[in-house]
Amino acid sequence: MLYTSMDNPKIKQIKKLSQKKYREKYKEFMVEGSHLVLEAFKKGYLKELILEKNELFPLQVVTHYVTNDIINYLSTLESPSNIIGICSKLNEVNNIGDRVLIIDNIQDPGNLGSIIRSAVAFNVDTVILSSNTVDLYNPKVVRATQGMLFHVDIKISNLLEILPVLKNKGYKVMGTRVTSGKSLKSIEKSKKFVIIVGNEGSGVNEDIVELCDEFIYIDMSPVCESLNVAVATSIILYELDK
């Protein structure tokens, strides 16, 4: 079927997925471009495919065709792709792995997406987001993950509730600080660990800080005061994966 009108109820519903409240209502989110669509399809999250008319992208999934005007209407990109996917939200995580990354109140979508990408690259088992972190399904977050959000268990949780549970299960909980604590180069690696990274401006919340077993920092030139949180997280995860 070819959709030609922006007033069509189906098109209107897809458009609403650009807003968080509708992503939560429908338990769906949108991905754009062949790479993200394929990553979603490979992991079983792709529900529907929206293609510009005459586009060929054969996947075993419900497919709708639309005009170029509708592609431009639906897209969140400056240069829209002619391939859009409608995905179900990620499965709820019940079991938490040994290597855990906790993200406390990160607000920049690009930072969150890059951190998730690094978590997959360096073999994190579970990513836990605080409830006040930027929405996982924000289009900018999804794009910045480059599809890696489909390849790691991600859980949204109240950190003050879940951290004591993890500590009781024997996880070593490490917070991050700019200068104080143990150098990343000298920390003793543990089989079961939690790394906590915090807000771009204020770092890890003080209530969370009190639950940490120790703190780590990255040795660097004194000329540089701090690193972007996504860059810093990547360095930490790389070191812990050695």
Q: Does 216 share its domain with 152? A: yes
Q: Which tokens in the block code for residue 12?
A: 């209107």
Establish if 171 belongs to a structural domain.
yes
Query: Which of these three, 36, 67, 88, is where a domain ends?
Result: 88
Establish if 94 belongs to a structural domain.
no
Establish if 23 belongs to a structural domain.
yes
pLDDT at 189: 84
Q: Does 28 share its domain with 52? A: yes
Q: Does 51 share its domain with 146? A: no
Q: Does 123 share its domain with 221? A: yes
Q: Does 166 share its domain with 69? A: no
Structural domain boundaries enclosing 167:
99-240
Please report, for the domain that includes residue 83, its CATH number: 3.30.1330.30
Q: Does 230 share its domain with 134? A: yes
How many domains does the chain divide into? 2
Q: Does 167 share its domain with 121? A: yes
Q: Does 232 share its domain with 112? A: yes
Residue by residue, pLDDT tens for the chain (242 residues) are 899 999 999 999 999 999 999 999 999 999 999 999 999 999 999 999 999 999 999 999 999 999 999 999 999 999 999 999 999 999 999 899 999 999 999 999 999 999 999 999 999 999 999 999 999 999 999 999 999 999 999 999 999 999 999 999 999 999 998 777 899 989 888 899 999 999 999 999 999 999 999 999 999 898 998 899 999 999 999 999 98
Q: Does 116 share its domain with 29? A: no
What global pTM score does this model have? 0.95
Please report, for the domain that includes residue 146, its CATH number: 3.40.1280.10
pLDDT at 242: 85
Query: Which of these three, 64, 88, 112, is where a domain ends?
Result: 88
CA distances from 169 to 63, 142, 164, 166, 212 (A): 46, 32, 9, 5, 14
Close Cβ partners of 126 (under 8 Å, ≥ 6 residues apart)? 93, 96, 97, 99, 100, 101, 152, 153, 154, 155
